[in-house]
């Protein structure tokens, strides 16, 4: 079992930045890819970004490409999502997950509890 805890969410004005972190504990997440998803109120969970174990491959949703950057530090069992040029439509609960590199939630086996990101206009 892998436990994931997200942090770094909060309230920010449009155009601002936030850096989300995901800390893993319990069983190591060796070999797993890490993904970030988000869910806005009343909407389905959607893919944001993903990175493979070696950080050699990343995937981004079109809506965040060029603004968000995903990274990970396997030695520290952490992952990050740097979010720049935030927009009100980025408002959502953000979740980190580990599993197989994909854009679909079903590919990810372990999930964090989420952290709220609110972008004011």
- What's the number of CA atoms in the CB half-sphere (13 Å) around residue 32? 24
The structure tokens listed for 116 are: 């709220």
Confidence of residue 29 (pLDDT cuts 50, 70, 90): confident
- Please measure the distance between the N-terminal and C-terminal CA atoms of the chain and give it in whole angstroms: 40
Section 6-19 average pLDDT: 98
The structure tokens listed for 117 are: 């990101």
Q: 71: how many CB neighbours lie within 10 A of its CB?
A: 14
* Cα 61 from chain centroid (whole Å): 11
- Percent of the chain past pLDDT 70, that is, above it, reads 99
Over residues 77-114, the pLDDT tens digits come to 999 999 999 999 999 999 999 999 999 999 999 999 99
| Structure confidence at residue 110 (pLDDT) | 95
Confidence of residue 26 (pLDDT cuts 50, 70, 90): confident
- Confidence check: pLDDT of 28 > 70: no
Over residues 42-82, the pLDDT tens digits come to 999 999 999 999 999 999 999 999 999 999 999 999 999 99
């Amino acid at each position: 079992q892998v436990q994931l805890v997200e942090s770094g969410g909060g309230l920010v004005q449009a155009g601002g930045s936030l850096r989300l972190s995901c800390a893993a504990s319990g069983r190591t997440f060796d070999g797993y890819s890490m993904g970030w998803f988000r869910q806005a109120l009343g909407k389905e969970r959607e893919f944001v970004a993903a990175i493979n174990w070696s950080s050699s491959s990343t995937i981004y949703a079109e809506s965040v490409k060029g603004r968000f950057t995903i990274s990970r530090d396997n030695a520290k069992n952490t992952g990050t999502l740097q979010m720049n040029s935030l927009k009100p439509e980025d408002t959502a609960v953000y979740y980190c997950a580990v599993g197989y590199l994909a854009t679909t939630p079903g590919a990810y086996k372990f999930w964090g509890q989420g952290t709220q990101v609110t972008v004011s206009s």
